[in-house]
Amino acid sequence: MSFTLGKDFLMDIIQKTFPVVPSRTSLQVLYNFKMTIEDGMLTITASDLDNFVRASTTVEGSGEAEIAVNAKKLFEIIREIDNCNLTLEILNNTLFINSDNGFACNLAGVDLREFPYFPDSGYAETFTIATDVFRGLVEKSSFAVSKDESRASLCGVLWECSAERSGMIATDGHRLGASFAGYESGIANEISVIVSPKSLLHILKTAEMSGVDTIRYSFNEKHIVFTVDTFTLSTKVIDGPYPDYDKGIPKEFLKTAVVDRELLHSVVRRVSIFANRKTQLIKLNFVNDSLEISAANREIIAEGKQTIPAKYTGEDAHTVGFNSAYLMEILAIINTPTIEFRMNTQVSAVLVLPVLEEPKSDDVFLIMPLRIFE
């Protein structure tokens, strides 16, 4: 029983599913793609047990067939084949591939019974979100996700959904990114879940690859299912609770400063060359209408500094230290011409906010200062 399809169509669904295949796992079957052909559709499924993905494309041929083959080998094979038509045949648990230009190969299958079940049941309603809105929420929060696996909830993005507003928040204790968007979601009751940033970035990339304007999603008690065209991703919700992030965001400030974002970004990048390799400490000294950015490295006896204009408001000069990599990450994500620093003491949380005339932005970026030891 053989089936025909274009190489580019097969490569498309492989590229959408391969990122979920684990690089290391004790469950050997997860190194494989499950390939199912029925009703003129080829569907590839992959899983790392936390995430399940499947993508489909049409094939020419009648009948049904199913096999599980090594995902990495199939990806490498199809990537190297010239763009032409391929004929797939599944016989005696072996996948035979023949191309129009004379290439032929085969891959042995594994036991399909070990492949995990795709969790796509128990979802009451499906909602939609615009791809560009989703992109903003994910990009402005996921950068601050913690890498410390001992605090599982901080390794995810908190997604808060209500009827008229959606927000994503992440923090690792040193920085925080929070983005909110108002739109009619159709969600009757407020929903709050913790989602893997890997899953959010995967569905975002897939939506952009597919060129779709909206992403569909559904919730149940343990999973979220995203759908883009013929691609589906089911991801496990991370167990909470998530810390009360709002308590960590200061509401009153003694000092503020408005600075050109692009200019500051370029100066921080330049001055950070002189920062200590371990701490990445740079100092920002606000005084009158200027901001001096400086860094020193005692190990190599080097220092650098530059002064730029700033609209500073405060009773006296204020010096604060930051991890330059963290600050540059925030400056790269904010896309407004100017930003505002809201500050109190040398050791208290600092807000870095986009400056907009109208409408006002609800995005919040927080960074904890580093102690300065003179």
Q: For position 97, what pLDDT does the model report? A: 97
3-class DSSP string for the chain? CEEEEEHHHHHHHHHHHHHHCCCCCCCHHHHEEEEEEECCEEEEEEECCCEEEEEEEECECCCCEEEEEEHHHHHHHHHHCCCCEEEEEEECCEEEEEECCCCEEEEECCCHHHCCCCCCCCCCCCEEEEHHHHHHHHHHHHCCCCCCCCCHHHHCEEEEECCCEEEEEEECCCEEEEEEEECCCCCCCCEEEEECHHHHHHHHHHHHHHCCCEEEEEECCCEEEEEECCEEEEEECCCCCCCCHHHHCCCCCCEEEEEEHHHHHHHHHHHHHHCCCCCCEEEEEEECCEEEEEEEECCCCEEEEEEEECEEECCCCEEEEEEHHHHHHHHHHCCCCEEEEEECCCCCCEEEEECCCCCCCCCEEEECCECCCC
Q: Domains, the chain, ranges and CATH?
A: 2-114 (3.10.150.10), 127-245 (3.10.150.10), 252-367 (3.10.150.10)
Q: For position 374, what pLDDT does the model report? A: 56
Q: For position 150, what pLDDT does the model report? A: 86
Q: For position 251, what pLDDT does the model report? A: 93
Could you state, in chain order, the average pLDDT of each consecutive group of 10 residues for the chain (374 residues)? 93 96 94 96 96 96 93 97 94 95 94 88 84 95 93 94 92 95 85 94 94 92 91 93 92 96 97 92 95 89 93 94 96 95 95 82 92 75
Q: For position 9, what pLDDT does the model report? A: 96
Q: For position 358, what pLDDT does the model report? A: 63
Q: For position 357, what pLDDT does the model report? A: 67
